[in-house]
Amino acid sequence: MVQLLLVVGVLVAMFVAYNIGGSTTGPAFGPAVGADAISKTAAAALMGVFFFIGAWTIGRNVVTKLGTELVVDTGVFTLESSIVVLFFIGVALLVGNVFGVPASTSMTAVGAIAGLGLAGGVLDLAVMGEIVTWWVVSPIIGFWVSLIIGRYFYARLNRLVAMERSEGPLLDIDRSGVLPIPRVHQTTNRRELFGTITVISIGCLMAFSSGTSNIANAVAPLVGSGELAMDPAIVLGGIAVTIGAFTIARRTLETMGSDITELPLTAAIVVASVSSILVVFLSTLGIPASFVIIATVSIIGLGWGRATRPVTVPEAVTAEKSPSVTVDALAADEEGEELPPIGEEDPETVPSAGDLFDPATTARVVLMQNVVPAIASVGAYLTFRFLPIAGV
């Protein structure tokens, strides 16, 4: 009976990891895919590789901590209760993936474990309060940093990097020799190549960060119960994440890369940089990083900022007239054109926020990113509160 439960537990854990691959590939590589810097297939492959590296190295520490700090009695992690927790995490993430919205894996997993702890009276409220506080503060920081960059610094930044995509592929594959050798395409300029490498590298960093924290969301309950060893748990989780990245992640890549706001390569680098820096900061504090929320809100902030007049700081300080009226900022940004003085813009060229920012998609993203963790939390609590589950 125990062996059968263990098999079920492993399958449920892989189901969770599969949905983690679907929900986290979008925030990591959505900006790069939206900027046509990388294909969805290549993004999935990189996600699988760097997620596993992060999980195998630092992730094992998070696996250990997730099952010991959030609850004051680890005895609640029986094989039966672990399966139930993983089930609710997987179902909740699947709901987000079906709607094409990348849900926060950390919020969903912590919510399910909190439901177990609350039902059993062993939830550490101090630890839970610290985690929730940072979940509220970090997206606000990401939003305002991205908004400020989009409004005041984006035009100058884009002129410096000048990374508008050219016609044709970035690289050509020379297959004349024994081994295929990638070469820079003749229409690709150096700045474009540098920008592409930068945004993909940041995506790899985010995938690595996801592995360090999110592998615990899939396997921590089983490892904590003592029924599954650490190394095989990480291998199984990594395989399932890769499968999810190649399949169900395609919808979240579209949502994060193009549906919310237009993302030229420069914008993709800004979003990925802001998000990854915040995720690394939270990780150093030991907080389960909800980089899905941070990346989403950063995209929203950048889109909002770019929908306003992207003046430089000196212009904003010395201007006598209000810069609230915008010009056709995107065209000027991307083509390197000189912007008219503040207050002398052509009203007919003023873009609305809706030109860059899809309110309907944004509302769907924000709604689902709150609903999905709630499904896991409430479902787990009600199950452990009213059904006889061993250890609770």
Q: What is the pLDDT of residues 21-57, one digit of tens each?
A: 887 888 788 767 876 778 889 999 999 999 999 999 8
For residues 351 and 329, what is the distance between their CA atoms, to the nearest angstrom?
Answer: 8
Q: Please check the confidence at residue 200 and state whether its pLDDT lies above 80.
A: yes
Q: Which residue has the tokens 């991205």?
A: 146
Comparing C-alpha atoms, which of 115, 110, 117 is closest to residue 132?
110
86 Ramachandran zone, left/alpha/beta (phi>0; psi -120 to 50): alpha
DSSP of 42-103, one letter per residue?
HHHHHHHHHHHHHIIIIIHHHHHHHTTSSBS-GGG--HHHHHHHHHHHHHHHHHHHHTT---
Q: Please check the confidence at residue 177 and state whether its pLDDT lies above 90.
A: no
For residue 75, give Cα distances in angstroms to 70, 82, 158.
12, 11, 54
Structure tokens at 227: 């029924």
Q: Please check the confidence at residue 124 and state whether its pLDDT lies above 70.
A: yes
Give the pLDDT of residue 169.
Answer: 58
Whether the Cβ atoms of residue 22 and residue 249 lie closer than 8 Å to each other: yes
Whether the Cβ atoms of residue 391 and residue 76 lie closer than 8 Å to each other: yes
Q: What is the mean pLDDT of residues 166-183?
A: 65
307 backbone dihedrals φ, ψ, rounded to 5°: -80, -5
Amino acid identity, residue 137?
V
Give the pLDDT of residue 242.
Answer: 95
184 has which bridge partners?
171
Which of 165-174, 308-317, 373-382 has the weakest average pLDDT?
A: 308-317
Give the pLDDT of residue 361.
Answer: 64
Whether the Cβ atoms of residue 211 and residue 52 lie closer than 8 Å to each other: yes
For residues 270 and 150, what is the distance between their CA atoms, to the nearest angstrom?
Answer: 9
Integer Rg of the chain from CA: 23
For residues 238 and 118, what is the distance between their CA atoms, to the nearest angstrom?
Answer: 30
Percent composition of the chain: helix, strand, coil (DSSP 3-state, to 5): 70, 5, 25
For residues 8 and 42, what is the distance between their CA atoms, to the nearest angstrom?
Answer: 32
Chain mean position to CA 264: 18
Whether the Cβ atoms of residue 233 and residue 214 lie closer than 8 Å to each other: no
Kindly report, residue by residue over 258-304, the tens digit of the pLDDT.
Answer: 554 455 667 777 877 888 788 778 777 777 777 767 877 887 888 78
For residues 144 and 123, what is the distance between their CA atoms, to the nearest angstrom?
Answer: 33
Whether the Cβ atoms of residue 142 and residue 271 lie closer than 8 Å to each other: no
